[in-house]
Amino acid sequence: MRIVQKFGGTSVADIERIQAVAQRVKAEVDAGHQVAVVVSAMAGVTNQLVEYCGAASPMHDAREYDVVVSTGEQVTSGLLAMVLQNLGVQARSWLGWQIPIHTDSVHGKARILSIDTAELVNRLEDGQVAVVPGFQGLGEDSRITTLGRGGSDTTAVALAAALKADRCDIYTDVEGVYTTDPRIVPAARKLDKITYEEMLEMASLGAKVLQTRSVELAMNHHVRLQVLSSFANTPGTLVCDEDEIVEKEIVSGIAYSGDEAKLTLVGVEDRPGIAASIFGSLADASINVDMIVQNVSEDGSTDVTFTVGRADVDRAKQVVENDDAIVCREVRADGQVVKVSVIGVGMRSHVGVAKTMFEALADKGINIQVISTSEIKVSVLIAEEYTELALRSLHTAFGLDSE
Ligand code: ASP
Ligand code: MG
């Protein structure tokens, strides 16, 4: 078998842990498998590097940012290769540009275009372990790129797809994918299996366990993806196709994101073209809009509410206020909001999920500010102070609590 193993920052946080990681790699080699390992930077290192960039130059060149922040992974890959060699395992590091992992040139958030695997495959077939730093690639401009925070997951999945690996194991500091955040809801349960689609929603709606892009890639290339703990010897969560899951719950998980802010335009002129000019101006300023509601108009004016990322709220307010084409009485911003989402492919065939969700929140006196839905999820925006209460009551209402 050919396996890709990926180890996150806490799993490689110090030399002792890197030694433990090496034992896990060795175990797969001893079992006769071909192994490529993808590593993150040691815990905290990337944050520190990002901070250095901000301190050196607040408006820094994104190409130089990538030169700096990609180094964390380089350190770990060299260290792990050394430790493996000490255990008698043949291993070498392969930096992104050496393989190469080709990406586009969107520095700081590059996407992988292709991976040249010929030489890697030769070495793997000779029994050499490839240790690959995650998060980095080679841009079309021939410079180092990085894949966005959490991007080592994406390196691992893309490598697994390119190498046609039989498995891609993502080792992390939790035992798998949970029904919701166990730090907030103690009754949260680890899922044995979750569908690609649900995992994609979970990741993009706030669950931090996998980078969203990695799930997208796994889904498109049918990579057998497993999330498991590097600190325990328990089976993790398998991310797979729907037909591999026998007992499906209607709702599989509940995600939340505190990275939201709400803007309300009060007393907007109600005429054709007004939404186009509001959201056109925001798009021109590269501000991503998520949920949108527009109220009914009574006296020729209406209220429009929408959400943006919290980091963009001040800029979004300015854009709207400074645009002469947008006539409204007032612009209100609220950063104390959180988006809570219930997710499950079972929603396609079952009615009443929204009803159960809204009733559970109403029972606790939690007001819903904005709602959005898709085929397999319902999201609501609520005041931040109710996050914990909302997650706990929804977890119970959908029968997800562990016994
Ligand atoms: N070290 C990078 C980060 O913290 C990439 C990763 O670990 O996935 O975002
Ligand atoms: Mg991560």
Model pLDDT for residues 168-192, shown as the tens digit of each residue: 999 999 999 999 999 999 999 999 9
**pLDDT for the residue numbered 201:** 96
Confidence of residue 101 (pLDDT cuts 50, 70, 90): very high
Atom of ligand 1 nearest to the CA of 153: 8
Pocket of ligand 1 (CB under 6 A): 9, 40-41, 46, 72, 134-135, 149-153
CA distances from 51 to 9, 56, 261 (A): 17, 9, 24
Task: Quote the percentage of the chain above a pLDDT of 70.
Answer: 100
**pLDDT for the residue numbered 336:** 95
Confidence of residue 1 (pLDDT cuts 50, 70, 90): very high
Nearest to 294 by CA among 317, 276, 320, 309: 276
Ligand 1 atom 8, closest CA: 150
Task: Tell me: pLDDT of 403 over 80.
Answer: no
Confidence of residue 296 (pLDDT cuts 50, 70, 90): confident
User: What mean pLDDT is predicted for residues 82-107?
Assistant: 98
Task: Tell me: pLDDT of 395 over 80.
Answer: yes
C-alpha 161 chain-centroid distance: 19
Atom of ligand 1 nearest to the CA of 155: 8
**pLDDT for the residue numbered 271:** 86
332-368 pLDDT tens trace: 999 999 999 999 999 999 999 999 999 999 999 999 9
**pLDDT for the residue numbered 270:** 86
**Ligand 2 center from residue 318 Cα (angstroms):** 33
Query: Relative to the alpha carbon of 174, which ligand is closest?
Result: 2
Query: Relative to the alpha carbon of 147, which ligand is closest?
Result: 1
Task: Tell me: pLDDT of 299 over 90.
Answer: no
**pLDDT for the residue numbered 298:** 75
Atom of ligand 1 nearest to the CA of 148: 9
**Ligand 1 center from residue 43 Cα (angstroms):** 9
**pLDDT for the residue numbered 178:** 97
Rounded to a whole number, what is the distance in angstroms from the first to the last CA of the chain? 37
Mutate to test the pocket of ligand 1, among 45, 46, 70 (most ligand atoms within 8 A of CB): 46
32-36, 294-298, 353-357: segment of lowest average pLDDT: 294-298
**Ligand 1 center from residue 22 Cα (angstroms):** 20
Query: Relative to the alpha carbon of 41, which ligand is closest?
Result: 1
Q: What pTM was estimated for this model as a whole?
A: 0.93
**pLDDT for the residue numbered 247:** 78
146 phi and psi, to 5 degrees? Answer: -125, 160
Atom of ligand 1 nearest to the CA of 152: 8
User: What mean pLDDT is predicted for residues 378-394?
Assistant: 97
62-79 pLDDT tens trace: 999 999 999 999 999 999
User: What mean pLDDT is predicted for residues 282-303?
Assistant: 89
3-state secondary structure of 320: helix
Task: Tell me: pLDDT of 59 over 80.
Answer: yes
Atom of ligand 1 nearest to the CA of 150: 8
Atom of ligand 1 nearest to the CA of 211: 8
| CB environment 182-197: b (16+ within 10 A), e (fewer) | eeebeebbbbebbbbb
Task: Tell me: pLDDT of 41 over 80.
Answer: yes
Confidence of residue 221 (pLDDT cuts 50, 70, 90): very high
**Ligand 1 center from residue 151 Cα (angstroms):** 6
Containing H/E element for 21? helix 15-30
243-259 pLDDT tens trace: 999 877 899 999 999 99
Please give the mean pLDDT across all residues of the chain.
96
Query: Relative to the alpha carbon of 39, which ligand is closest?
Result: 1
The Cα–Cα gap between 49 and 59 comes to 15
**Ligand 1 center from residue 96 Cα (angstroms):** 14
Q: Which domains does the chain have, with CATH numbers?
A: 2-173 (3.40.1160.10), 254-397 (3.30.2130.10)
Nearest to 380 by CA among 371, 367, 393: 371
Task: Tell me: pLDDT of 295 over 90.
Answer: no
Strand segments (E) across 270-298: 289-294
**Ligand 2 center from residue 211 Cα (angstroms):** 7
Mutate to test the pocket of ligand 1, among 10, 68, 144, 152 (most ligand atoms within 8 A of CB): 152
Confidence of residue 300 (pLDDT cuts 50, 70, 90): confident
Containing H/E element for 132? strand 129-133
**pLDDT for the residue numbered 27:** 98
Ligand 1 atom 6, closest CA: 150
117-170 pLDDT tens trace: 999 999 999 999 999 999 999 999 999 999 999 999 999 999 999 999 999 999
**pLDDT for the residue numbered 248:** 78
